[in-house]
Amino acid sequence: MLSACGSSKKVVDTRATNEETVVEIVETVQEEPEVQEEMKEEVVEEVIEDVVEEMPEDNDIEVTETSLEAIETAFDHDVFDALLKKHVTDQGNVNYKAFKADRTELKTYLTSLSNNMPKDDWKREDVLAYWINAYNAFTIKLIIDNYPTKSIKDIKDPWGARFFKLGKKWYNLNEIEHQILRKMDEPRIHFAINCASVSCPQLFNEAFKADTLEEQLTTATKVFLSDTSRNELTANSIKVSKIFKWFSKDFKKDGNLIDFLNKYSEVAISNKAKLSYMDYDWNLNE
């Protein structure tokens, strides 16, 4: 099997001395143009086996399933990650003018999303990360295509217009949010997707990725709840974002709203706390 990989044979001849080197070897093989499209897990495993056989007997390295999983990613979001780091502040303010100047890079990422839609064998984390990033990236496209604008609501049918294509199908933002993400039973997605408005959960200056998704979703939820411009939480009174009203059933699958808030809030909220909602600011988050 490996003989078909052409120049990747030289990689197999390299002597590995630790697990990090094994990971590097597999990454190198995956990057070989001759095998990029046909690289399967069994090929990767065979490479590792060949490397391990060449190791000195006293080498105590243990190559595990975790080693293989750590380097397997269903989709590479690095282009979007770099754009977010470049054009979004730590507070979530977006420089749409600069994003517009970088629209070629954004288009490259959007095209890669269209050409590499989730497959049946993708892990749940890969699927979630794909659709969260897709929602955020196409929202940015929507804004820069209509920039300057004071609000996303000034754009005609911003969530219902089918202005982008993934695979062979035209999508809108509503479909990603309501028909795909919300059906994945992960309420924290509401704090990861961004509607380009001041009262929305902030757009983070990093892409969501499968291997860090759990931590990222938890962070996004905690940051949103602790932001007093979006939520005011005390033990006996909570004034929360209208997100919790619009999507109330999403936060009641494992109890009530207070139960959900107490998982991520720094404040211990009473089940008898008085509930009210904040006004929603639809001005652009720039």
What would the mean pLDDT of 205-218 be, rounded to a whole number?
98
Answer whether residue 129 shows pLDDT above 60: yes
pTM of the model: 0.77
pLDDT value at position 50? 53
Identify the weakest region by mean pLDDT among 49-63, 87-101, 106-120, 138-152.
49-63
Write out pLDDT tens, residues 33-87. Answer: 444 444 445 544 554 455 445 444 444 444 444 434 444 679 999 999 999 999 9
Contacts for 145 with CB less than 8 Å, ≥ 6 apart: 163
SS3 content of the chain, % helix, strand, coil (to 5): 50, 10, 40
202: its two tokens: 């902030």
Residue at token pair 């070897």: 25
Contacts for 89 with CB less than 8 Å, ≥ 6 apart: 205
Q: Which of 146, 117, 151, 150 is nearest to 134 (CA)?
A: 117
pLDDT value at position 73? 72
Answer whether residue 9 shows pLDDT above 50: no
41: its two tokens: 């897990």
What would the mean pLDDT of 166-191 be, rounded to a whole number?
98
